[in-house]
Homo-oligomer: A and B are copies of this chain.
Amino acid sequence: MFRTHTLGDLNKTDVGKKVTLSGWINKRRDLGSMIFIDLRDRYGKTQLVLDPEVSSIAYEKAKDFKNEWVISITGEVVLREKVNPNIKTGEIEVVVEDTQVLSKAKTTPFSIFDDKTQTNEELRLKYRYLDIRREPLLEKLKIRHLAMQETRNFFSENGFLEVTTPSLCKSTPEGARDYLVPSRLFAGNFYALPQSPQIFKQLLMVGSIDKYFQIVTCFRDEDPRADRQPEFTQIDVEMSFDGKEKLFSLVEEHLKRVFRKCKNIDIKIPFKRMSHFESLEKYGTDKPDLRFEMEFHRIDDIAKKSTFAIFLDVLKTNGCIKAINVKGGVDLSRKKLDNFTAFVNPFGLKGLAFIKKTDNTLSSNITKFFKEDVLKELENKLDIQNGDLIIIAAEKEGIVNQALDHLRRKIASDRNLIKENVFKFLWVDDFPLFEFDEENNRLKAMHHPFTAPCTKDLDVLEKEPLKVRADAYDLVLNGYEIAGGSQRIYDSSLQAQIFKLLNLSDVEIRQKFGFFIDALKYGTPPHGGIAYGFDRLIMMLTNTDNIRDVIAFPKTLKGLDLMSEAPCEVSEDQLNDLNIKTKDFHPITW
């Protein structure tokens, strides 16, 4: 037997007990007359004392011990002279009577006990098994575990059935690129790894499983982006006979429970709601960070009354003018403001106008273009107080929104307006059903092609499809989309009509989605659902903005596993079996 207790177990009630402990040597201090060892496992650390007067054999052995060796000891629990209040076992130590080396260790490429020093991430990925020993990563994996269990228990308790959906699926590339898997038995045919179990969960609804959930791995072969992984985890939920309101409250209750259990934080429910239109209008984005203010104000009407040529030109060409109020921003130097202008430039915004208010006076190089009463109107609209800085952008609406959104977040970050452990949830709903895909000159589904149009907009579906809103919604947390869902089309002919509007030919529709359109014809209940980005949720729960921090064995930006060195070349035999040939070879330097 290698242990009677873990290394987080013992406290002063155990004094006098004979125990067997095992773990990794975190640190060893040889004081000459005695050796102290901090032994570590995933539960904590326990101090060992090697005293030659208790066991000279154990003491002699311990002289050779190195960090990260795995040892097992037996000894007696005694009170510690100097209590360490920082660790759970800080009241006691164990006087070692016997010790055994279970496994020696080479010098690790980075320190395990010193987990505060920044270590090159590539090195940590290559030796992931060592990084997992360190508290920062270990704690995140524990929280991930906890969130998984709470999630499944929550949905199970609410009557949802977990159903395993397939990983080897049909390729229907709508949106992202599929990962493909060649079929060996049917040469030239391929499976695709699922981008989401969307179709399967809807078929479960057709199949009368009226409440479904799953925590499921999904795959997208997209181009590298910092917050993406080729494979990611999704909490997938679908339900019949209940609409958006029921789904919203379910998700709210679920997240309340997860935040309580994983972070000991009570989040307020129900969450705030905002239409997609309002969100763009006020924050220039469909995922606004509500931890800070600086809402946009559209000042077209006020600007119209000015004589400032730039504003007037923009308005004439259907642009818009929006302003934000940076409270207390008068302290920002000319240089800082010039930086802001440079910052928004890449988004297509040529300049910014600034107005400061000090001593009850607005000062700016543009105030001269405004009459007194119009300035007053501006002051009222933006609630400008002494000390405030107003930033104004004028351009095409898309450009203004994007530029001011980025600027707003930059200012919040620069000025430390973002408090820790504040969680601002927001439902954004009433998304447009379609967006226009300039590249392919066709309509594109904004959510996905199974999303139901809002009933009230159905009459303009054919004539003005871009005006149709979808019964779709995103859940936004602190500026990140953490879940997205919709009510689904449950009428077979409406589904076929949507595919046509998306410019799929009859042949394509039949080939890709024929079975699904057929399925809808056999009695389909009204249904809707949502998918949460689980990795993203864990990032929020663990205060990291690196997605690799919440995945045990993640891949790099380019999809490499630096530890096992995957992907890799495979044998000719393997390729022959699969009836494929490679056209090119790109060697990977590890």
Residues of A within 8 A of B (CB): 2-3, 22-24, 40-42, 68-70, 102-106, 108, 127-133, 138, 141-142, 144-145, 148-149, 152-153, 156, 161-171, 173, 177-193, 199-200, 203-204, 206-210, 217, 219, 221, 224, 230-231, 233, 241-242, 490-491, 511, 515-516, 519-526, 551-553, 555, 558-561, 563-571, 574, 577-586, 588
- The contact of A129 among B105, B168, B242, B519, by CB within 8 Å, is B519
Counting every copy of the chain, the complex holds 2
CB-based contact B169/A564 at 8 Å: yes
A40 (CB) vs chain B CBs: closest residue? B208
CB-based contact A170/B568 at 8 Å: yes
- The contact of A171 among B156, B162, B570, by CB within 8 Å, is B570
CB distance from A158 to the nearest CB of B (A): 12
CB-based contact B161/A156 at 8 Å: no
- Give chain B residues whose Cβ lies under 8 Å from the Cβ of A564: 169-170, 199, 515-516
- Give chain B residues whose Cβ lies under 8 Å from the Cβ of A574: 171, 173, 177-178, 180, 190
Interface of A is mostly: loop
A202 (CB) vs chain B CBs: closest residue? B129
Rounded to whole angstroms, the CA-CA distance of A185 and B74 in the bound complex is: 53
Rounded to whole angstroms, the CA-CA distance of A104 and B491 in the bound complex is: 9
Rounded to whole angstroms, the CA-CA distance of A46 and B68 in the bound complex is: 65
- Give chain B residues whose Cβ lies under 8 Å from the Cβ of A586: 185-189, 579
Rounded to whole angstroms, the CA-CA distance of A130 and B24 in the bound complex is: 55
A148 (CB) vs chain B CBs: closest residue? B162
A132 (CB) vs chain B CBs: closest residue? B207
Rounded to whole angstroms, the CA-CA distance of A294 and B162 in the bound complex is: 42
CB-based contact B187/A582 at 8 Å: yes
Rounded to whole angstroms, the CA-CA distance of A584 and B187 in the bound complex is: 6
CB distance from A445 to the nearest CB of B (A): 19
Knowing A149-B153, A177-B184 are in contact, say whether A3-B208 is a contact too (CB < 8 A): no
Rounded to whole angstroms, the CA-CA distance of A580 and B181 in the bound complex is: 12
CB-based contact B241/A167 at 8 Å: no
Knowing A209-B132, A219-B167 are in contact, say whether A191-B566 is a contact too (CB < 8 A): yes
Knowing A145-B162, A149-B152 are in contact, say whether A522-B566 is a contact too (CB < 8 A): no
CB-based contact B217/A167 at 8 Å: yes
CB-based contact A186/B567 at 8 Å: yes
- Give chain B residues whose Cβ lies under 8 Å from the Cβ of A133: 207-208
- Give chain B residues whose Cβ lies under 8 Å from the Cβ of A563: 203, 515
CB-based contact A523/B104 at 8 Å: yes
Rounded to whole angstroms, the CA-CA distance of A156 and B164 in the bound complex is: 20
- Give chain B residues whose Cβ lies under 8 Å from the Cβ of A568: 170-171, 189-190, 511
**Can you list 19 A-B pairs, Cβ within 8 angstroms, ordered by A?**
A2-B526, A22-B525, A24-B523, A106-B522, A132-B208, A142-B161, A165-B553, A167-B167, A167-B219, A170-B565, A170-B568, A177-B574, A184-B221, A186-B560, A188-B584, A189-B588, A200-B553, A579-B583, A581-B583
CB-based contact B41/A208 at 8 Å: yes
- Give chain B residues whose Cβ lies under 8 Å from the Cβ of A559: 168, 183, 185-186
CB-based contact A24/B553 at 8 Å: no
CB-based contact B166/A193 at 8 Å: no
Rounded to whole angstroms, the CA-CA distance of A579 and B204 in the bound complex is: 36
Rounded to whole angstroms, the CA-CA distance of A246 and B485 in the bound complex is: 45
Knowing A42-B208, A68-B522, A156-B149 are in contact, say whether A580-B583 is a contact too (CB < 8 A): yes
A550 (CB) vs chain B CBs: closest residue? B164
- Give chain B residues whose Cβ lies under 8 Å from the Cβ of A520: 103
Knowing A128-B203, A206-B129 are in contact, say whether A577-B177 is a contact too (CB < 8 A): yes
CB-based contact A523/B167 at 8 Å: no
Knowing A42-B210, A199-B564 are in contact, say whether A103-B491 is a contact too (CB < 8 A): yes
CB-based contact A68/B102 at 8 Å: no
A222 (CB) vs chain B CBs: closest residue? B184
In the A-B complex, the 10 residue pairs with the smallest Cβ-Cβ separation, listed nearest first, are A132-B207, A188-B585, A105-B523, A170-B566, A189-B567, A187-B584, A183-B567, A188-B582, A2-B241, A187-B586
- The contact of A581 among B166, B521, B581, by CB within 8 Å, is B581
CB distance from A460 to the nearest CB of B (A): 24
CB-based contact A523/B145 at 8 Å: no
Rounded to whole angstroms, the CA-CA distance of A206 and B241 in the bound complex is: 48
- Give chain B residues whose Cβ lies under 8 Å from the Cβ of A515: 563-565
- Give chain B residues whose Cβ lies under 8 Å from the Cβ of A23: 208
- Give chain B residues whose Cβ lies under 8 Å from the Cβ of A584: 187-188, 579
- Give chain B residues whose Cβ lies under 8 Å from the Cβ of A578: 180
Rounded to whole angstroms, the CA-CA distance of A365 and B329 in the bound complex is: 109
Rounded to whole angstroms, the CA-CA distance of A179 and B70 in the bound complex is: 37
Rounded to whole angstroms, the CA-CA distance of A198 and B283 in the bound complex is: 48
- Give chain B residues whose Cβ lies under 8 Å from the Cβ of A189: 567-569, 585-586, 588
Knowing A24-B523, A181-B179 are in contact, say whether A167-B231 is a contact too (CB < 8 A): yes
Please name 8 further chain A to chain B contacts, defined as beta carbons within 8 Å, in addition to the given A70-B524, A168-B561, A189-B586, sorted by A numbering: A22-B241, A69-B523, A152-B152, A153-B153, A169-B566, A182-B580, A190-B567, A511-B568
